Every structure is written in C-alpha cells, then in structure tokens.
Amino acid sequence: MSRRLAKTVVLVLFFGLAAVTGVYAQADAPAPGEGGQGLGEVQTLPIPFVDLTLREQGSNQETALSIQLLLLLTIISLSPTLIVLMTSFLRIAIVLDFVKRALSLQQVPPNSVLMGIALFLTLFIMFPTFNEVYEEAFVPFSEGELDTRGLYDNAAAPIRYFMYRQMSDNTENITLFMNLTGLAKPETFADVPTYVLVPAFVLHELTVAFRIGIYLYVPFIIIDMVVASVLMSMGMIMLPPVMISMPFKLILFVLVDGWTLLVRQIVMSFS
C-alpha cells in the first residue's frame, strides 16, 4: 500500500508539472501569422503580484494612514465582541442559558442552537438601529457626502441612543462610571462619552438578564422542592430528585407554551 501510494503521488506530481510546463510553453509560443505554427489562442490565468515592501514614511500623512489601517483591522477583529456587548445579544444569551439550566437540561438544546436563536433575535430587535446606521452613515459616506469622522459620528449615534434608551429608567450606572472617571454629572445624553456609555450598558444588561433569570428559576425551583419532599417522605433518598422533576418541568414549560412567552417577553423588554 505504501509503495502504491508513493507511485500515485509521483505520477500526480509528474503530470501536474507537465501540465504547468505545457501551459507556459503554449503561452510563449508565437501566434499564428508571426512565423510560427500556433495551435490557437491560449488563455492563461493571470496571477496577481503582491509586493510588500518596508520603507520609511514619506510624510506624516502616510504615517497617519498606516495607523488608521491598523486601527481598522483592530476594530474588524473585535467586531464580534462589540456586537455582543453593544447590542441586545448579551441579555438574550444569558436569559436563554438560564432557561436551559432551570429546566435541568444538559445537552438539549445545544449551545450552538441557543447562540443562533440569540443572534437572530438580536438581528430582529436591532434591525431598526442597523437600518438607521445604513441610511444615515453608510449611504452618505458612499456618495461622498461624509468624511471618515462624519461616518463614525453618524454610525455611532443610533447605537448610542439604543444603549441609552435601555438605561433611561435607571441611569445609576452612567453616574457611577462618570464619577469613576472624574467627570461632571451629565446634563444631557450628548454629554456622556461613548467609553462611559458602553461599560454602563454592559453592567445594566447583566443586571437585567440575571433578574429575568431569577424570575424564570422560581417556578422550577418550587417543582424541585415538591419532588424532593415527596421522595424524602417515601424514603427514596438515593433517587436523584432531578430525574423525577425534569419531566414535570418540561411538561409545565410545554403546556404554557414557554418558548413563545419567553421570546415575546424578551422582545418586549427592549421596546
């Protein structure tokens, strides 16, 4: 088997080299009517040449452009984290994980399915915001009406408003981070810097998500306590209560149409 495999590899390399050599030979052959006997036009695949050279900057503008390029690549690499922390994804993902743990489920549904549900619910909730970013920032920038600074300001404004709207009823987190940075108390929404608004929003989303998780846990904890008490009274100490309580929790969750109620309440919590 090893000798046959070696012969096969050698034959493949030989024919591949012969094919490449033949293509270049036909490409270098003279065309018909130019003193040669050409067999027709041969179309070769153009291979781009990329030249990465290091040289000293010619001006400060070139240095600034290089720094902007590095910052752009950094933002692109951090874009998944930004999507998680600056949108509704964080709250939805935590609530779905709480539901899975409250039902005492280990493998069903898989985490990839829960993250997929959280992603599409995030797209559904954030669609008006993303649409506003596209119309107010990307379209004017593509038409040349905005510069890079204007693109950033117009793109950040809808996302900033979404984050601030979620904390409009409770601005204690914003006040906390403003005090930690030594800034004065903001009078308007525009006075809150973005680097203060983002951590305040993340802290608020964590608090709300854990609060919703506690509310979801309460009915299932009651079922666990009832089942454990019944098993103790029957003397079945060695039987894990989870094995008996999990079917009852699933039956209750299905009867009340739990997924529909859960998704509806999650979406309404952002409205």
Does the residue 112 lie in any domain? yes
User: What pLDDT, on a 0 to 100 scale, did the predictor assign at position 58?
Assistant: 61
User: What pLDDT, on a 0 to 100 scale, did the predictor assign at position 168?
Assistant: 77
* Cα–Cα distance measured from residue 244 to residue 238, given in angstroms and rounded to the nearest whole number: 12
User: What pLDDT, on a 0 to 100 scale, did the predictor assign at position 110?
Assistant: 85
User: What pLDDT, on a 0 to 100 scale, did the predictor assign at position 36?
Assistant: 45
Does the residue 50 lie in any domain? no
User: What pLDDT, on a 0 to 100 scale, did the predictor assign at position 233?
Assistant: 79
Mean pLDDT by 10 residues, the chain (271 residues): 48 44 42 46 55 60 70 79 86 90 82 89 90 86 79 85 84 82 78 86 90 87 83 76 79 86 88 74
Does the residue 84 lie in any domain? no
Does the residue 48 lie in any domain? no
User: What pLDDT, on a 0 to 100 scale, did the predictor assign at position 92?
Assistant: 92
Number of domains in the chain: 1
Does the residue 225 lie in any domain? yes
Structural contact between residues 200 and 210, judged by C-beta atoms closer than 8 angstroms: no
Q: Which domain holds residue 136?
A: 89-269
Does the residue 5 lie in any domain? no
Does the residue 73 lie in any domain? no
Q: Per residue in 247-260, is it b (16+ CB within 10 Å) or e — as a string?
A: eebeeebeeeebee
User: What pLDDT, on a 0 to 100 scale, did the predictor assign at position 63?
Assistant: 65
User: What pLDDT, on a 0 to 100 scale, did the predictor assign at position 192?
Assistant: 82
Does the residue 4 lie in any domain? no
Structural contact between residues 88 and 121, judged by C-beta atoms closer than 8 angstroms: yes
